[in-house]
């Protein structure tokens, strides 16, 4: 659920990234950082702990974690940490990705796979999902070890679950096990 404040921050991120001619990099990196923070309780705690001085929380920007990130991405993260918006990082990153996709007249498809896909496989997956949905899509691929074989995609409110676990569950239902 996006609050009005989250939407405003997403708009600010898009404006900053566009001004720096780094929209693609910021979009991709912000999504990756959001997923990493979601998956690391200790990191999330350090970035959201208001008992820590802002300077100490901002040290994350200069850490090895973000050393390879685009300077605009580091600026965005500094803004969000200083404004105590890290709790909304995932919602902001998702909204930025939606806005970028919409500007390209595409719809955002968040695709979870067990292992990293090379470019030809990403392109083939994109084509297959576009044929299945009848929509132009922008794929954001997330490596998620909990996806055992296959793919799980979320396009708006629609879920397409082609994972091996889902297929086994369907088979069990049909067989009556």
Please tell me which residue, 143 or 177, carries the higher pLDDT value. Answer: 143
> 3-state SS string over 71-124?
HHHHHHHHHHHHCCCHHHHHHHHHHHHHHHHHHCCCEEEEEEECCCCCHHHHHH
Please tell me which residue, 43 or 14, carries the higher pLDDT value. Answer: 14
Mean pLDDT to the nearest integer, 70-96? 94
What pLDDT, on the 0 to 100 scale, is given for residue 161? 83
**DSSP-derived secondary structure letter, 1:** -
pLDDT in tens, 85-142: 999 999 999 999 999 999 889 998 989 998 889 999 999 999 999 998 899 999 988 8
- Could you tell me what percent of the chain has a pLDDT over 90? 50
Tokens of 12: 């600010």
Q: Which helix (H) or strand (E) holds 172?
A: helix 164-175
Provide the whole-model pTM: 0.76
**Mean per-residue pLDDT of the chain:** 88
Instruction: Tell me whether strands 151-155 and 158-161 are parallel, antiparallel or unpaired.
Output: antiparallel
Using pLDDT thresholds of 50, 70 and 90, give the confidence band for residue 174.
Answer: confident
Determine the straight-line distance between the first and last CA of the chain, rounded to whole angstroms. Answer: 37
Please tell me which residue, 154 or 172, carries the higher pLDDT value. Answer: 154
Using pLDDT thresholds of 50, 70 and 90, give the confidence band for residue 2.
Answer: low
- Is 50 strand, coil or helix? coil
* Domains observed in the chain: 4-99 (1.10.520), 107-175 (no CATH)
Mean pLDDT to the nearest integer, 57-72? 86
Tokens of 128: 């297959």
């Amino acid at each position: 659920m996006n609050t009005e404040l989250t939407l405003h921050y997403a708009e600010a991120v898009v404006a900053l990234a566009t001004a720096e001619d780094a929209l693609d990099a910021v979009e991709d990196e912000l999504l990756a950082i959001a997923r990493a923070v979601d998956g690391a309780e200790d990191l999330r705690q350090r970035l959201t702990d208001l008992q820590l001085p802002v300077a100490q929380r901002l040290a994350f920007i200069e850490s090895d974690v973000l050393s390879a990130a685009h300077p605009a991405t580091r600026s965005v993260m500094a803004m969000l940490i200083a404004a105590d918006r890290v709790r909304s990082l995932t919602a902001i990153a998702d909204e930025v990705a939606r806005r970028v996709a919409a500007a390209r007249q595409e719809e955002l498809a968040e695709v979870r796979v067990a292992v990293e896909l090379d470019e030809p496989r990403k392109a083939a997956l994109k084509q297959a999902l576009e044929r299945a949905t009848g929509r132009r899509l922008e794929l954001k691929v997330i490596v998620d070890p909990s996806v055992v074989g296959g793919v799980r995609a979320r396009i708006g409110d629609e879920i397409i679950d082609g994972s091996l676990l889902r297929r086994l569950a369907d088979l069990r239902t049909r067989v009556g096990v």
